[in-house]
Amino acid sequence: MQAADRKKNRSSAKRLLLFALVLFVLAWALFYFLMRDRRLQERESASSETAAPMSSSPATEHGSADDSGHEDAPRNQNRGARKRAHSEGESVFPPPGDAQKIVAQLRPLADAGDARAALLIHLKLYECANQQDIATMERVAEAFERGGASGSKYIADQQRIRRDCASSAELIFEQGQWLERAADGGDTIAQRLYAINSRAFFRSTTEMLADPAAVERYKRKANGYMSALVEKGNTNAMMWYAGAYDSGVMLPKNPLRSYAYYRLVEMSAPGTISQASMDHHAKNLSAQQMAEADAMARKLYDTCCKN
């Protein structure tokens, strides 16, 4: 009996270690795409930076407008060099300024049920929790220069973050609770970030291993958020499912379902995924499985995106 228990515990530990590894890779993938977007934005905005004064309220400085112009973009700053949350055309930036003061200003709004205010607190504290050391900062700046963007602007932005976050040490570990409150409050950007940002809730693999029940709760909530977003036609959430079923960490590994969600993305946003990538994901599926995946994708599409 003891041998069986030890075997079960080792199996659970291996699954949690794999979970931590995959989420670490996802975090770096997110970092890579943010870096790529910054370089593109710097090129686009280099000749059009303005010096308009910023609003004094952090709650109005959180992001760029979506396609329908619902929000005003932050001004008088290098948007391309700021970390941001992004979902389906909307970008949300951490508010600039002293972290402790930002949290103090936004906390009453968040406590009153303002999900976006809670998200802004999370983004500010996440920014503070993930400051780069000097060596990493210099490497990234050099990569910017090689890519045709401004490394010096990136360095200046990182130095600003260091100044902003000097007062944040006691607040950093609150970042997860604010992200969860924003997601529970219905903020779709927060819901997507919740599902891809385990570091807001677990600081290390050791924490995951120590509390497998918390890990399972996290996975269930992430799945619930993303399922609701898929029903709304959110292609980011569709991609999350494709990857989750492919890796077998956030959800049980299922190549058929993974391919079905990749097909759903292509049906919803043609050209998003290259044919070579689609072929790669299909290579281990039989003709019958391909047909089943296609039928599943069409059923999902009829539910979320046809009308």
What is the pLDDT at residue 166? 93
Q: What was the pLDDT predicted at 84?
A: 52
Residue-wise pLDDT for 143-197, tens only, equals 998 989 888 899 999 999 999 999 899 999 999 999 999 999 999 999 999 999 8
Cα–Cα distance between 49 and 166 in angstroms, integer?
Answer: 28
218 pLDDT exceeds 80?
yes
* More confident call, 86 vs 141: 141
d(CA 254, CA 60): 43
Given a cut of 70, whether residue 241 has pLDDT beyond it is yes
For residue 4, the model assigns a pLDDT of 56
Which is nearest to 60 in space by CA: 114, 113, 117? 117
Three-state helix/strand/coil letters over 269-289: CCCCCCHHHHHHHHCCCCHHH
With a cut of 60, say whether residue 217 has pLDDT above it.
yes
Which backbone phi and psi does 86 adopt, to 5 degrees? -140, 140
The percentage of the chain sitting over the pLDDT mark of 70, rounded to a whole number, equals 71
Share of the chain above pLDDT 90, in %: 55
> Which residue would you say has higher pLDDT here, 101 or 43?
101
Least confident of 47-61, 102-116, 253-267: 47-61
Is the dihedral angle over the CA atoms 69, 190, 91, 128 positive or is it negative? positive
Confidence tier at 7 by pLDDT (50, 70, 90): low
85 and 119 in contact (C-beta within 8 Å)? yes
pLDDT in tens, 37-81: 433 333 333 332 222 222 222 332 233 223 222 232 222 323 333
203 pLDDT band (50/70/90 cuts)?
confident
How far is Cα 94 from Cα 22, in angstroms, rounded to an integer?
26
Burial 144-177 (b: 16+ CB within 10 A, else e): beeeebbbebbbebbebbeebbeebeebbebbbb
Q: What is the pLDDT of residue 11?
A: 57
Mean pLDDT, the chain, whole residue set: 77
| More confident call, 4 vs 94 | 94
Average pLDDT estimate for 94-116: 96
pTM value?
0.70
Q: Distance (Å, rounded) from C-alpha 137 to C-alpha 77?
A: 19
Residue 141 CA to residue 170 CA, distance in Å, equals 29
Tokens, residue 305: 């995106």
Q: What is the mean pLDDT of residues 205-225?
A: 92
What would the mean pLDDT of 198-210 be, rounded to a whole number?
A: 87
